[in-house]
Every structure is written in structure tokens, then in C-alpha cells.
């Protein structure tokens, strides 16, 4: 009886071992296929990465341009503010001068 059990056990073991080898081959085949698919996709990924780098560079250049424009606008704005201040000073001086002349003329008339 023990020999029969041992023989059956050995046979079962061989069957399981063969099934395991089949599964290993099947899995390794599927993995190889998937790896091949991934390798096929690499050039597309590289193209997408390069395109993204190009977009990032374009955005960086546009950002630099905007920064330069901002600085130019700020500089021009300061110039305009200075001109407005200068005009205000000149207008005030002109008004004061006109008021003084009017006072003098009024004083002469009296």
C-alpha cells in the first residue's frame, strides 16, 4: 500500500511539475509579448517627450518675452508718471504766475 501511495504521489508530482512548466512557458511568452509591445511604444513616448520639451521651451521663451514686456511697460509707466508730475508742477507754477499777474493788474486798477 505505501508503495502505491508513493507512486501515485510521484505521478501527481510529475503532473503538477509539468503543468507548472507549461504555465511558466505561457507566462514567459506573455511577458515577452508585453515587453515587445512596450519596446514598440518607446519611440512614440520619445516623440511625445520631445514634443513636450518643445512646448516647455516655447512657454519659457514666451514667459521671458512677457517679463521683458512687463519691465518695458513698467519703465514707460514710470516715465509717464514723471511727466505727469512735471506737468502738474509746471501747471501749478503757471497758475500761480497768472494769479500773481492778476493781483498786480487788479492792484494797478485800484
Mean pLDDT of the chain: 90
The backbone torsions φ and ψ at residue 93, rounded to the nearest 5 degrees and listed phi first, read -65, -40
Q: How far is CA 101 from CA 88, 93, 107, in A?
A: 20, 12, 10
**Number of H-type helices and E-type strands within the chain:** 1, 0
- List, for residues 55-83, the tens digit of each pLDDT value: 999 999 999 999 999 999 999 999 999 99
Q: What is the pTM of this model?
A: 0.51
pLDDT at 1 over 70: no
Q: In the chain, which ranges are continuous DSSP H helix? A: 2-109
Amino acid at each position: 500500500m505505501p508503495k502505491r501511495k508513493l507512486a501515485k504521489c510521484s505521478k501527481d508530482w510529475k503532473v503538477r511539475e509539468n503543468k507548472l512548466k507549461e504555465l511558466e512557458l505561457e507566462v514567459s511568452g506573455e511577458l515577452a509579448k508585453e515587453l515587445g509591445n512596450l519596446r514598440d511604444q518607446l519611440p512614440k513616448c520619445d516623440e511625445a517627450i520631445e514634443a513636450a520639451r518643445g512646448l516647455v521651451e516655447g512657454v519659457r521663451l514666451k514667459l521671458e518675452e512677457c517679463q521683458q514686456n512687463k519691465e518695458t511697460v513698467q519703465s514707460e509707466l514710470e516715465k509717464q508718471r514723471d511727466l505727469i508730475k512735471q506737468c502738474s508742477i509746471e501747471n501749478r507754477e503757471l497758475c500761480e504766475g497768472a494769479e500773481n499777474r492778476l493781483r498786480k493788474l487788479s492792484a494797478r486798477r485800484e
